[in-house]
Chains A and B, each alone.
Chain A
Amino acid sequence: MHSEESERRGGPLPRWRRARRVVLLAALICLVPAGVSYVEAMTEEHNVGLGVSSVEWLRQNGGNSIVSEIENWYYTLTAPDKGGPPLKALPVVGVQAPAERTPVRRIYRPPRVKPIIHPALPGEGVWKPAGAGAEPEPPVLLTTFRSDPEYPQFVAGVAWIDSKRTHLAYVPGLDEPPELEHRGPAEVPPALRDRVVATFNGGFPLETSNAGLIYEGKVIAPMVDGVATVVEYRNGTVDVVRWFKGETDPPHVWFAKQNLPPIIYEGKLNPDLGDGPEWGATVNNAVRVWRSGLGIDARGNLLYAAANYQTVESLAKVLQRAGAVRAIELDINEDWTSFISYRHPGAADPANLLPEMFRPPERYLTPDERDFFAVYLKRGQRW
């Protein structure tokens, strides 16, 4: 009470109180530029809630490791238990295929994904067309299956994309990539909606992916050797590769989006799927969250997979089981994982690959923060 009396008498504040006052004032001063930056960011165009936008603002302003650490704690504390009652049915995906007619010519269809858990549920691993009236040669096929015997309630969704009938486009978002001269509409352009058959999320933001980007033939961020890369060449061919062409842009590359090391390479799982700095500044690889990935099968067709409660390893196994020989991990977390197929021309009747996907199926029909991929029918291909 000595100090209080001294204060009351108009005497000097004790040292510890002055120190506290200095720290409080410093905190208030620091909040001024931070508040200005935050308000500026929040008043920009967004299609996510205030919470997600705030977290993204923190990530983009040096707080990535804080966010990742908090996410690690949260997901570890809320990790699902093994086992549980068996599922009785799988979510309905795609459209009902009409009765098989005698095909005019042999059409390739990927083999059914062999179920892991027995007895298999009706339709488990069976491919269904994503769009109505797309028979006999649907450009996109969808299926679901239970991917982990220890967690029999988890369902993975997989999409197969016919590379002969479609071409892949990389679409920059409103905020990602951050530095870009010609950003575009950050949504499926209205002029191309007649040909869009599917859209899906991109990879990690550049600042967390330890990786590079080539867009419209120009290097936006220096490419990194050894990193998994979705690449489209100027002749329209798409591939998922491990990049070994240096930092610059080879003349035949139209776009190349990198993200972390490959999770499957030459048919085998990456032997180093544990945690390490090469896996980006994000939640640990063993943490079970929504994860997504893109692979390529031995015939050059793309395979997209996503599911909740996945580790990097379990996601890689989903893609491998579906037939991927090379694969890259894409975005993670429920806010960023989306695969949307359009059941009718004109981007009509959009549907998420899995019903529990958090973002609405209209996500890429309005400007989106993040970059994404759009799958269009090639010119001359009928719906």
Chain B
Amino acid sequence: MVRLPREVSADARRRRSLLLDLVLAGLLAALAIALAAGIGVVGFFAALVGLALLVWIGAEAGVRRAARRFGARR
């Protein structure tokens, strides 16, 4: 029996991609923990990387919001 291709909603596609990213992140974390000299090093670099990425994402969102507000005024 052959199934016809289903229409996948945008939300479902997003959820699937998030799940896949979570699995990849888990594998990456496991690799980092296995290879590092200790959990302290892992925590130190994870905190640095996490902080840097959160600042990046936050700054990006801020710029986008400001651009939108600026565009709406014009």
Question: Chain A: residues with CB nearer than 8 A to chain B?
Answer: 4, 9-13, 18, 20-31, 33-35, 37-38, 57-63, 65-66
Residue from A10, A12, A26, A66 within 8 A of B28 (CB atoms): A26
Q: Say yes or no for B39: interface residue by CB 8 A criterion.
A: yes
- Cα A28 to Cα B28 with chains together (Å): 11
Given contacts A12-B13, A13-B17, is CB(A66)–CB(B41) below 8 Å? Answer: yes
A59 touches B40 (CB 8 A): yes
Given A12-B13, A26-B32, A30-B33, do A20 and B40 touch, yes or no (CB 8 Å)? no
Task: Give me 28 A-to-B residue pairs in the complex whose CB atoms sit less than 8 angstroms apart, sorted by A's number.
Answer: A4-B64, A10-B10, A10-B13, A11-B10, A12-B17, A13-B17, A20-B56, A21-B21, A21-B25, A22-B28, A25-B22, A26-B25, A27-B47, A27-B50, A27-B53, A31-B43, A31-B47, A31-B50, A34-B47, A37-B40, A37-B43, A38-B43, A58-B41, A58-B43, A59-B40, A60-B38, A63-B38, A66-B44
Cα A12 to Cα B54 in complex, Å, equals 21
Contact with A along B8-50 (1 / 0, CB 8 A): 0011011001000110111011001100111111111111011
Of the candidates A9, A23, A33, A63, the one whose C-beta lies within 8 Å of that of B44 is A63
A37–B54 touching, CB < 8 Å: no
Total contacts A-B at CB 8 Å? 107
**Residues of A close to B37: CB separation below 8 A:** 62-63, 65
Q: In the assembly, what is the distance between CA of A18 and CA of B46, in Å? A: 18
A22 and B38 contact, Cβ closer than 8 Å, known pairs A28-B50, A63-B44? no
Contact B29 A63 (CB under 8 A): no
Q: What are the nearest 9 A-B pairs in CB distance?
A: A62-B38, A34-B43, A61-B40, A10-B10, A62-B37, A25-B25, A30-B46, A27-B50, A61-B38
Q: Which residues of B contact A9 (CB under 8 A)?
A: 10
Interchain CB contact under 8 A, B21 and A22: yes
Query: Which of A11, A27, A34 lies at the interface centre, i.e. has the most chain B CB atoms within 10 A of its CB?
Result: A27
List B contacts of A25 (CB < 8 A): 21-22, 25-26
Cβ-defined contact, B21 with A18, below 8 A: yes
Enumerate chain A residues within 8 angstroms of B53, measured Cβ to Cβ: 20, 23-24, 27
| Given A20-B53, A63-B41, 18 new contacts (CB under 8 A) | A4-B64, A13-B17, A20-B56, A20-B57, A22-B28, A26-B24, A27-B50, A28-B25, A28-B50, A29-B25, A30-B46, A31-B50, A34-B47, A61-B40, A62-B36, A62-B39, A63-B37, A66-B41
